């Protein structure tokens, strides 16, 4: 069962599961189109979660649903904790009762970014924002609910959104450049861009295996947002002169972001027996599948 199957990662997880020959059930909160046979589920409502899991009887549950707008979480902390912590607790409790394994999708933002290089799974967390703190609480309730549960951290997930019109970092850059708009991108914030279709398959395979605890399942790169924009322009043949490098200090954001939150993916690569999908490869796959 994919909880949050209409989101970017969730919709690609449904496709990956179907390709792997799994019997898939998706859940949605508001957007149902494009997810055949989906179940309506509101994770903040324990009864809704209980009904959903009883109807589907899954062996593996992947929780993609979350409140992910970082600044909105800062403005609405109660809502952020209600979804990202209490919602996760409801799903984790139901999985515990039914014996299902839970895979929780988390974020690189649980780190403070002060290390200046990649973070590995065993390193201490220190979230800076309400979003990151609420997601970390979600990690904790997932791991507390069952020894076999798995937390998969991703970073800046991108790819074509086939279900809703919601954009992501890469599609926003493509759309802006195609329309001749200037794009201001941070040259001092480093992340590990994660190609949704690849990550979806990787996470499902790891979830189906015996891996438990925490695993980083992002792309393998460590790039500034400006460097990502440059590669997007190059692969899609767009005008890179519209990209403008800016510092985070020039464009103050409501919520604090880590300066370098790149993730080390050695554990995932060793478990899967293959490299994670790098940005250039992901962008080329995107371009080919448009």
Q: Which domains does the chain have, with CATH numbers?
A: 2-162+188-223+255-288 (3.40.50.720)
Give me 88's structure tokens: 């996760």
CA dihedral (171, 173, 176, 178) positive or negative: negative
Q: Name the token pair of 232.
A: 């997007």
Per-residue pLDDT of the chain (290 residues; tens, 9 = 90+): 999 999 999 999 999 999 999 999 999 988 777 788 899 999 999 999 999 999 999 999 999 999 999 999 999 999 999 999 999 999 999 999 999 999 999 999 999 999 999 999 999 999 999 999 999 999 999 999 999 999 999 999 999 999 988 999 999 999 999 999 999 999 999 999 999 999 999 999 999 999 999 999 999 999 999 999 999 999 999 999 999 999 999 987 899 999 999 999 999 999 999 999 999 999 999 999 99
Query: For residues 35, 38, 44 and 45, what is the CA-based torsion angle, rounded to 10 degrees?
Result: 160
Burial 244-283 (b: 16+ CB within 10 A, else e): ebeeeeeeeeebbbbbbbbbbbebbbebbeeebbbbebbb
The reported pLDDT for the residue numbered 34 is 74
pLDDT score recorded for residue 138: 98
- The C-alpha atoms of residue 14 and residue 8 are separated, in whole angstroms, by 10
At residue 267, the pLDDT reads 98
Q: Please tell me whether residue 180 adopts helix, strand or coil conformation.
A: coil
Taking phi over 0 as left and psi of -120 to 50 as alpha, with beta for the rest, 200 belongs to alpha
Q: Where are the alpha helices (DSSP H) in the chain?
A: 8-19, 46-56, 70-75, 77-81, 88-98, 130-145, 169-178, 196-208, 225-236, 266-272, 279-288
The answer to whether the beta carbons of residues 34 and 11 sit under 8 Å apart is: yes
Q: Distance (Å, rounded) from C-alpha 61 to C-alpha 73?
A: 25
pTM: 0.97
Q: CA torsion angle for 258, 264, 268, 273 (degrees, to 10)?
A: 150
- Report CA Rg, the chain: 18
Is the separation of the CB atoms in 158 and 172 below 8 Å? no
The span from the CA of 139 to the CA of 149, in Å, is 10
pLDDT digits (tens, 9 = 90+) for 208-256: 999 999 999 999 999 999 999 999 999 999 999 999 999 999 987 899 9
Residue 133 contacts residue 127 (beta carbons within 8 Å)? yes
Q: How many CA atoms are closer than 13 Å to the CA of 180, on its beta-carbon side?
A: 0
């Amino acid at each position: 069962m994919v909880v949050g199957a209409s989101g970017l990662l969730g919709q690609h997880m449904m496709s990956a599961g179907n390709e792997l020959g799994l019997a898939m059930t998706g859940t949605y909160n508001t957007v149902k189109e494009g997810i055949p046979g989906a179940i309506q589920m509101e994770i903040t409502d324990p009864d809704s979660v209980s009904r959903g899991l009883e109807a589907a009887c899954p062996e593996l549950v992947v929780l993609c649903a979350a409140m992910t707008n970082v600044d909105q979480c800062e403005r609405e902390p109660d809502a952020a904790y209600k979804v990202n912590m209490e919602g996760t607790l409801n799903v984790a409790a139901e999985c515990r009762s039914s014996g299902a394994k839970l895979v929780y999708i988390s974020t690189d933002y649980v780190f403070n970014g002060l290390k200046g290089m990649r973070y590995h799974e065993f390193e201490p967390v220190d979230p800076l924002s309400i979003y990151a703190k609420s997601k970390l609480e979600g990690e904790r309730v997932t791991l507390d609910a069952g020894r076999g549960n798995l937390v998969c951290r991703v970073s800046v997930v991108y790819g074509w959104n086939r279900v809703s019109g919601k954009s992501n970092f890469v599609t926003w850059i493509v759309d802006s450049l195609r329309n001749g708009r200037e794009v201001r991108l941070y040259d001092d914030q480093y992340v590990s861009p994660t190609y949704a279709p690849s990550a979806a398959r990787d996470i499902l395979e790891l979830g189906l295996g015996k891996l438990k605890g925490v695993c980083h399942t992002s792309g393998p790169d460590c790039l500034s947002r400006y460097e990502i924009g440059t590669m997007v322009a190059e692969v899609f043949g767009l005008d890179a002169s519209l990209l403008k490098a800016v510092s985070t200090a020039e464009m103050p954001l409501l919520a604090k972001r880590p300066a370098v939150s790149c993730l080390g993916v050695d554990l995932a690569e060793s478990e899967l027996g293959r490299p994670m999908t790098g940005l250039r490869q992901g962008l080329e796959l995107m371009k080919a599948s448009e």
